[in-house]
Structure 1
Amino acid sequence: MSAEQVAEPVNPLRIEATWQWLCQAVDHMGRPGPGLSFPLAPSSADGPGPAHCSVLAVPPIAQSAHIARDFTRTTLVDRTTQERVEDVAVTVSELLSNALRYGRAADGEAELQPALWLAYWERWSCAVCAVTDESDLIPVAMQADELAESGRGLQVVSVLSDAWGWNPRAAGGKLVWALFRL
């Protein structure tokens, strides 16, 4: 499924409500501790908050993408098809890889520690994954040479998700998100 080839349009208000809620939660909670995973409870059952939101602070190590994929699979088990869970897991891996590669603050002094946020909305049958980093650089999908070994991450995100985007964070850095219909 592609963000450009959705059979039925994704309701823009739902997209906006999901990533806006997640952006606000990220700014409110701040950075979780290293290796920490915890659920966030939404404040109201009828508000824009999700049925469930989990957060994982991902250490900048070689196994980070594997840790994030396992976290995604565990969080979304029994929520959708196995194929859709794998779409989200691959997307999480791509977003996290980008954060680890390009996510340092301009001064480069702060320790690189991206966080993965994963929320699902039962009443809208959708999930949003987001990865935070310290960089203010805008993520841009690039056309990689056909023999290039990298440079296709955001193209993969665009193909697997129903919508994706990014938002600046209040204290600096950004949050890159992807929405999936479940």
Structure 2
Amino acid sequence: MSAEQVAEPVNPLRVEATWQWLCQAVDQVGRPGPGLSLPLVPSSEDGPGPADCSVLVVPPIAQSAHIARDFTRTTLVDRATDERVQDVAVTVSELVSNALRYGRAADGGAELQPALWLAYWDRWSCAVCAVTDDSDLVPVAMEADELAESGRGLQVISVLSDAWGWNPRVGGGKVVWALFRL
């Protein structure tokens, strides 16, 4: 069901292991409580888990994208070049903006509070960012009018990341993720 779009020469097994681990972690942890961040410790160092995984509950305010970008830069400091960290930060901003704009459940649901999950794998030198929301709607890249001020988020994500996709969540909603070689 994933809308995965992989740019070569990314190893498909590594791509699948990283986003699958993160999607399973999202479902196991469930909705994290409000707060700045929650570090998740992988179950074993030799398994498919990352070296580190942190979660940020994104408040539904105008500064959310900025907060998410700062969280990303802080989490990935000394893990990649400044340019690559900036690519991840811009992608996170787009994912968070999309979740806040389109991520409410069809029934209106509770207050919208997407969560940003950021994991990195030292042995594979990659990071995966993922944003959860309550909507079951599939993310679809749109062709925006050249003068439009919005509608290009998934195109930006596709250009900046090495792979991206989405997965449904066990209890409803979805997780949209992007993978980056560091």
Tell me the CA shift for residue 111 of structure 1.
1.2
2:160 aligns with: 160
1:108 aligns with: 108
Structure-1-length-normalised TM-score: 0.96
| SS of alignment partner, residue 21 of structure 2 | helix
Tell me the CA shift for residue 110 of structure 1.
1.6
Give the distance between the partners of 1:84 and 1:36, measured in 2 at CA: 23
Tell me the CA shift for residue 159 of structure 1.
0.3
1:10 aligns with: 10
**RMSD (Å) for aligned C-alpha atoms:** 1.0
- 1:27-42 matches, within 5 Å, as 27-42=27-42
Give the distance between the partners of 1:151 and 1:37, measured in 2 at CA: 29
1:44 aligns with: 44
Contact 1:35 1:59 in 2 (8 A): no
> CA deviation digits over 1:35-84, x for unaligned, max 9?
33111010011100000000000110011000000000000000010000
2:93 aligns with: 93
Which amino acid letter does the alignment assign opposite residue 78 of structure 2? D
Structure-2-length-normalised TM-score: 0.96
2:179 aligns with: 179
Give the distance between the partners of 1:141 and 1:125, measured in 2 at CA: 28
Q: Give the aligned length.
A: 178
Which amino acid letter does the alignment assign opposite residue 66 of structure 1? H
> CA deviation digits over 1:66-104, x for unaligned, max 9?
000000000000001000000000000000000000000
> CA deviation digits over 1:128-157, x for unaligned, max 9?
000000000000111101000100000000
Which amino acid letter does the alignment assign opposite residue 86 of structure 2? E
Farther off after superposition, 106-115 or 131-140: 106-115
Detail structure 1 runs of 4+ shifted over 2 Å in the superposition: none
| SS of alignment partner, residue 78 of structure 1 | coil
Q: Alignment identity in percent?
A: 87
Structure 1 residue runs of 5 or longer lacking an equivalent are none
1:140 aligns with: 140
Give the distance between the partners of 2:73 and 2:177, measured in 1 at CA: 17
